[in-house]
Amino acid sequence: MPSARAVGDHSLREHHLITKADFSLEGEKAVVLTFDDGPSKYIGSFLDVLNEEQVQAMFFWQSRLLHYKRLWKRTIAEGH
């Protein structure tokens, strides 16, 4: 399975997570997994499965929910 290489600049400014990413697939076909309106009570389970399967995904969080620091820090640390 081809892997997407993400190179990002992550920072927290004024309670907003700013992420800039460059995804390079070098001509390979790919599927982009997105999780919207996070976090949910299932995000830990999602992250566990993604990690076990070595799959990266995109997470879109509502800015009003950024107080879930442990979860979004884990999400970034695991390469999503």
> Tens-digit pLDDT profile for the chain (80 aa)?
444 444 444 444 444 455 556 666 677 777 778 887 667 788 889 899 999 999 888 888 777 777 777 888 888 899 88
Instruction: Determine whether 76 is exposed, middle or buried from the number of CB atoms within 10 Å of its CB (0-12, 13-18, 19+).
Output: middle
Question: Which DSSP letter does residue 59 get?
Answer: E
pLDDT score of 18: 52
Q: What are phi and psi of 54, to 5 degrees?
A: 55, 50
pLDDT score of 52: 94
Instruction: Determine whether 72 is exposed, middle or buried from the number of CB atoms within 10 Å of its CB (0-12, 13-18, 19+).
Output: buried
pLDDT score of 33: 80
**Concatenated DSSP letters for 1-27?**
----EEEEEEEEETTEEEEEEEEE-TT
